[in-house]
Amino acid sequence: MFIGHFGIGFGAKAAAPRVSLGTLLLAAQFVDLLWPIFVLLGIETVRIDPGNTAVTPLDFVSYPLTHSLLTGVGWGVLLGCAYFVHRRWLRGAVVVAAAVVSHWCLDWVTHRPDLPLVPGGSKVGLGLWNSVPATVTIESLIFVAGVTVYLTSTRARDRAGHWALWSLIAFLASAYVGNLAGPPPPSARAVGWVGLAMWLLVPWGYWIDRHRESVQH
């Protein structure tokens, strides 16, 4: 899943209006931000296998440290605790932790059975990626719902708050279409390097939130 994770980040703003969108996007995508680093370091393994599923040519051979359920919960607790230490707001910390764990839950729906429950343990996955129409429909619904929640939970303070948000939405939508329609990546290392670029979306989220304000009271 790709834009569905961002939908969770956007939507979580309603549950924790004091948490910046940048932090929520970081949490929702946290394990996918770590994953390319681990791939480039040779700690986790992916290979290019066109036809592996209808949606992606990637075969996730081994990624127990970022994409097992156990370590996902661990990363969630770690990030939630870090937020609490920094901000001293328990509700925000819980939402941040839940956003991290939500990543595994959404991946469980989309991936074929390659997600380990624990490192070295049984692997699960419902295989939504075997159907392009079903994947696009469900991911798009999650993304649109999350963005809608964010739009109704915040308002722009200035023009930057409007255009920064809509430019991110347009970028994510176009990147999603490009991933679906484009050719397979040339190598696993290329996947890793491109994946690192997703870190740039986190400061983009902080930039957006600095120019928007909560409408909740």
C-alpha neighbours within 13 Å on the C-beta side of residue 135: 25
| pLDDT digits 0-9 by tens, 102-126 | 999 999 999 999 999 999 999 999 9
Q: Per-residue pLDDT for 80 more than 90?
A: yes
pTM over 0.85: yes
The owner of tokens 């920094």 is 86
> What total of structural domains would you count in the chain?
1
Q: Which residues of 20-32 are buried (b: 16+ CB within 10 A; e: fewer)?
A: bbbbbbbbbbbbb
| pLDDT digits 0-9 by tens, 3-14 | 999 999 999 999
Domain extent, residue 142, equals 3-214
